[in-house]
Amino acid sequence: MRLSICAVGRLRAGPERTLTDDYLARFDRTGRTLGLGPSAVVEVEDKKGGGVPAEAALLRKAVPAGARVVALDERGKTLSSLDFARLLARWRDDGVADAAFLIGGADGLDPALRAEADFGLSFGPMVWPHMLVRVMLAEQLYRAASILAGSPYHRA
């Protein structure tokens, strides 16, 4: 199952980019034998200033056809790392070819786009900077692959 992180904004060189790239590379290596990956990051940017609705249109275009869509939003469901790993494994085992994780910009995701998503995922009730959410998601993808591979990375 291929995974896409579809995000508003460009992640410049710096610690967030370094961490995201590192965790996604680890995910790709670990997930390959598990039928997970490769991963890709698709960045969109509303250069015309249309706000959240314009960002939503760009995110919709970034989602692979037929993908399972996950909206990252504080109103979504909180999962343990183990439950997140199980969710990915279930989708993979059900034959889902693509999953797309949507990360909004500074003003979040358009409510209509959130409603269209197959799943809402939250990293807790706090609001996180959208650039940090990428790092957190990349790490959780790697952790999920590690859990499914039986690696000692996840010590629960």
pLDDT in tens, the chain (156 residues): 999 999 999 999 999 999 999 999 999 999 999 999 999 999 999 988 899 999 999 999 999 999 999 999 999 999 999 999 999 999 999 999 999 999 999 899 999 999 999 999 999 999 899 899 999 999 999 999 999 999 988 776
User: What 3-state class would DSSP assign to 129?
Assistant: coil
Q: Closest by alpha carbon to 75, among 108, 42, 100, 39? A: 108
Tokens for 156?
């629960």
Question: Domain 2-149 belongs to what topology?
Answer: Alpha/beta knot (3.40.1280)
Residue 100 · residue 4 · CB < 8 Å = yes
- Polymer length of the chain: 156
* Concatenated DSSP letters of 134-152: HHHHHHHHHHHHHHHHT-T
């015309």: which residue's tokens?
A: 48
